[in-house]
Amino acid sequence: MPKKFLDYVNNNPVIISCCLCGAGTRKEQAPTVPYTPEELSDQVVEVAQAGAATVHIHVRKDTEVDGKVIVGYKSMAIEKFTEAVQLSRKKCKEAGVDVIINLTTSGGEYEDYKRLQHLEALKPEMCSFDPQTLNWANSYIFENSPRFLNKLSEEVVKLDIKPEFEVFDTGHIDSVNYYCKKWNIPQPAYYQFIMNVGGAMPGTPGNLAFLVDKLPDGALWSVSGIGKAHLPMVLTGLALGCDGLRVGLEDNVMYGKDESGNKIIATNKMLVERTVRIAKEAGRKIATAEEARKILGITRNCLRDEG
């Protein structure tokens, strides 16, 4: 193994990211998944205290669908984003913890402006950037049109927001490189490999190694495994020298099984704490939020500078 690689993993901290709820995880699957801004902000503090340097936030809203009120339905409502972010910043300050807030822009069927309006209003330090359309789990269209992606690229440059490029398959890397070059998105780019979504790249060590090998020089990367690929991708990411690891109830609700074979439902805090332990056992330091900012090239600290 090259000395340069060993020096890197021994001397560079790993960024732990927690994706708190996503758009689809239901309390029926995991009662621990947060829906409300109050629940989200409480868990932001918990996972930051546990070692997460960044938190990835979706919001939910009670919505009537086909005559039935669905509690905690996926939403891009700016009032929910505003409440969740303001409460999170307030509670983090009160608890004396620092964390980078990363807001989703993945709205699927929502109009472009609804997927972008919270960026201008709240100016988060990070946001998600899904670089291509995908037939998600072979069941619905996860739409990310070139029209929208050009608008999103313009916004992240104008507002000085670090994009987290969510890569689900090989060709997505090429799209990230295209938008970075076209819009002069500040480097280094941060590639978040989302492994094991149906219809995209299965979460295997070989597939992750293949993707990492396709990255441009100087790129930073993180990995998350959906469902059963969760722990294998944590372990493979560490073995390959990842810059980050993403965990959370958006991607996986299972912690494991007890001695009787019963399923143990996870909490976000449990998933972060376990990943911190594993990373430390692998010889990696855990990045603080401020260290993560330096690694990623983030120039702002919203908790400190923007109330």
CA distances from 101 to 54, 141, 207, 214, 257 (A): 6, 27, 29, 28, 31
Q: Hey, what domains does the chain have and what are their CATH numbers?
A: 3-305 (3.20.20.70)
Q: Residue 2 pLDDT more than 60?
A: no
Q: What is the DSSP letter of 229?
A: G
Task: Summarize pLDDT for 41-80 with one digit per residue, the tens.
Answer: 999 999 999 999 999 999 999 998 889 999 999 999 999 9
Token pair in block for residue 125 = 């330090």
CA distances from 220 to 15, 18, 296, 298 (A): 11, 17, 8, 13
For residue 307, what pLDDT band results from cuts at 50, 70 and 90?
A: very low
pTM flag (> 0.75): yes
Token pair in block for residue 100 = 């980078």
Q: How far apart are CA 138 and CA 132, in angstroms?
A: 15
For residue 3, what pLDDT band results from cuts at 50, 70 and 90?
A: low
**What are 102's strand-pairing partners?**
56, 126
Task: Summarize pLDDT for 132-173 with one digit per residue, the tens.
Answer: 999 999 899 999 999 999 999 999 999 999 999 999 999 999
Cβ atoms within 10 Å, residue 183: 17
Task: Summarize pLDDT for 13-48 with one digit per residue, the tens.
Answer: 999 999 999 999 999 999 999 999 999 999 999 999
Q: Residue 105 pLDDT more than 60?
A: yes
